Amino acid sequence: MAATWSIRILVLPNGTTAFQPDVPGAQPGQPLGVNSGDLVTWNNTTDVAHLPVMTIASGPLCDPIPAGSPSDPIFKVNPITTITYVCQYHANEKGSIVIS
């Protein structure tokens, strides 16, 4: 059965924005570990919209995420080793998902 995971989009104390897996002990910028077939959402806790897109393939991982909202639709993980993504609106915001 597929597990569901969340990645928080948050503003750090230094004013930069980061992706952080929503799991105990996770740090900003840390990859989220998942299995193939799992489901991933992004929870935008910032005041601006974000759009995670894969760096090695075209197309977004979800629709644009409005400020204070979760992503839609839910992203279903395919059997790739690692998914690296950036925010299409803010190129310095990067994250990754590692698939087991």
Query: b/e per residue, 61-87, with b = 16+ CB within 10 A?
Result: bbeebeeeeebeebbebeeeeebebbb
Q: Which domains does the chain have, with CATH numbers?
A: 4-99 (2.60.40.420)
Instruction: Report the pLDDT value the prediction gives residue 79, as an integer from 0 to 100.
Output: 72
Residues making up the chain, counted from first to last: 100
pTM score of the predicted model: 0.82
Per residue in 18-39, pLDDT (tens digit) is: 999 999 999 999 999 998 889 9
Instruction: Report the pLDDT value the prediction gives residue 54, as an integer from 0 to 100.
Output: 84
Instruction: Report the pLDDT value the prediction gives residue 33, as an integer from 0 to 100.
Output: 93
Residues of the chain where predicted confidence (pLDDT) is lower than 70:
58, 81
Q: Evaluate whether 43 touches 4 at the Cβ level (below 8 Å).
A: no
Instruction: Report the pLDDT value the prediction gives residue 58, as an integer from 0 to 100.
Output: 64
